[in-house]
Amino acid sequence: MWRRRRRRKGKIFVGCLVLLMIGFAYGYVTNDSKMPKHIKNNNENALNIGEIAVKIPKHHEEQKENVKKQDPINEHSLIVSEENIVTDNTQIVFNTYYKKTRDMIKKKRRIPRELIGKNLDELRDYLNKNYAEWDIRECNKDKIELYQVTDEIPPNFYIAKEYNGYIAIFQVDEKGEYILKETTEIPISSLSNMDAQYVKNGIVKKNREEIDQILEDYSS
């Protein structure tokens, strides 16, 4: 009799234990399905160290990804910009071809200070605005080369032409202006029609010795 009661109590205990485990399992499953998404995501970002769960902030992971994506682009942009920047070492060269004398004169100048630090697009805009009469032959961070053709006479050349009825000697300055150097005593009327026309048009020579030789021929 006592043994039967003992077996009956054991069966009841086991049955209660089984029901308790089934209830615990059911509650765990239903609670997990109802858990908010942001809590689940936070749990997914957790790092288990032994028995301790350490959560890694989501914004920290996003910052790492942004840095990895942006770094190569920033480095490339920096290299490109450095290669296209005007510096104090950039040269600007002016090439002028004088049709009357068939001379090409080249002048080098320092880059204007306002252009230092500009990129090539800004440089071209500046050149088109301030040197509209020049052709841009070359334009990079090392050298700017401009070219033009003119009917003017090159600087420092000499001209023999009529002045108040006589032959006079002029010299061209850097601005292209004629500077009177000497008025001779040779009247234009003493020349042949052809020579007189030459003098009226202006006889251009590179140095004074050539002009003196012409004056000697006209005075003889």
**Residue 138 and residue 180 in one domain:** no
- Per the domain annotation, does 165 fall within a domain? yes
pLDDT, tens digit, 9 for 90 and up, residues 109-147 = 988 899 999 999 999 999 999 999 999 999 998 999 999
- Per the domain annotation, does 22 fall within a domain? no
- Per the domain annotation, does 77 fall within a domain? no
Task: Please provide the average confidence, as pLDDT, over all residues in the chain.
Answer: 78
**Residue 200 and residue 167 in one domain:** yes
For the chain, what is the domain count? 2
φ/ψ of residue 3, rounded to 5: -65, -35
**Residue 143 and residue 164 in one domain:** no
pTM of the complete model: 0.56
Which of 121, 150, 179 terminates a domain? The answer is: 150
Predicted confidence at residue 76, as pLDDT, reads 40
- Per the domain annotation, does 204 fall within a domain? yes
End-to-end CA distance of the chain: 168
> Are 81 and 65 spatial neighbours (Cβ–Cβ below 8 Å)?
no
Full domain range(s) for residue 194: 158-219
Tokens of 79: 């290299």
- Per the domain annotation, does 146 fall within a domain? yes
Which CATH number characterizes residue 142's domain?
3.10.20.420
